[in-house]
Amino acid sequence: MPIYEYTCEACEKKFEALIRGNEKAACPACGSVAVKRLLSACGFVSKGSGGETVSTSAGSACSGCSSSSCKGCGV
């Protein structure tokens, strides 16, 4: 059950949705089903050799973010 990122074509709000099977995403703000799935960057943090932290989002705008979720910043 993947979580996808969408943008609403009606109100332009960006949101995430957990999609099961053949479900269709709907905007949580306005309820519109006219949504477009966004290309998401996969990000994770792992411990490299020697215990240093390695992040896949190092080159993105979120590289300085310390949050565990993107929901807080709305990116």
pLDDT: which is higher, 42 or 38: 38
Q: DSSP 3-state assignment of 49?
A: helix
Mean pLDDT of 40-46: 68
- Give pTM, 2 decimals: 0.53
Among 40, 57, 56, smallest CA distance to 5 is for 40
For residue 56, give both structure tokens.
């896949």
Backbone angles phi, psi at 22, to 5 degrees: -100, 20
Provide the residue ranges of all domains of the chain, joining segments of one domain with +.
Answer: 1-40
Q: DSSP 3-state assignment of 50?
A: helix
CB 44 within 8 A of CB 68: no
For residue 4, give both structure tokens.
């996808």
Q: Fold for domain 1-40? A: Rubrerythrin, domain 2 (2.20.28)
pLDDT of residue 58: 43
